[in-house]
Amino acid sequence: MGWLKIGCKFSSKWLRFGCHSTLKTFHANLGKRLVKSHKVYVRDSGLLHSLLGLTSVADLQGHPMTGASWEGFVMDHIAAQLPAGAFMSFYRTAAGAELDVVVESGQHIIAFEIKFSVAPKVSKGFWQSLKDILPQKTYIVAPVQQRWPFAEDVEVITVGDIASIFAALRV
């Protein structure tokens, strides 16, 4: 039994139905020890909430899986908006530097950090990751009402802003 309180047989069958997705590690010749295991996330937040016994917004707020639910929702939204030929991965070093999503589209690298907070905070590892991969654009996706500048070259955005970010790449 795992954190969802379901058995291994059920969970492996569930995963085979395509209710999850995996992200591969961003690979570049950076001279860093990267975590190579794939990142698994649940694509269907409604199914996740049901498995967790969450029946209302009040149940979800403050639940330990709220951040993971939000992350899966946003990752699935990013995947649905990807331009043709773009590749989505994540970045994590053995030292702990991490970015939730890295999108490569042609010569462009776009970094996304996903935070379930209207006042997101990032770690030292986030800044180190940006130095490592040198993305052209960096966004923090949060449950905010409108986008706003976070720091130089980093912007907090809404889920709805993702489509316009990728539309700009297609021009």
Question: pLDDT tens for residues 21-67?
Answer: 555 666 665 555 555 565 666 667 787 788 788 888 888 888 888 88
Position 32 scores a pLDDT of: 58
Enumerate the domain spans of the chain: 8-170
Half-sphere exposure at residue 154, Cβ-oriented, CA atoms within 13 angstroms: 20
Position 36 scores a pLDDT of: 57
Residues in the chain where the model's pLDDT stays below 70: 1-43, 170-171
Position 10 scores a pLDDT of: 54
Query: Cβ(151)–Cβ(113) under 8 Å?
Result: no
DSSP for 67-96, please give it: HHHHHHHHHHHHHHHPPTT-EEEEEEBTTS
Position 41 scores a pLDDT of: 63
Position 22 scores a pLDDT of: 59
Which distant-in-sequence residues (6+ apart) come within 8 Å of 31 by Cβ? Answer: none
Strand duo 108-114 + 137-141: pairing: parallel
Q: What is the pTM of this model?
A: 0.80
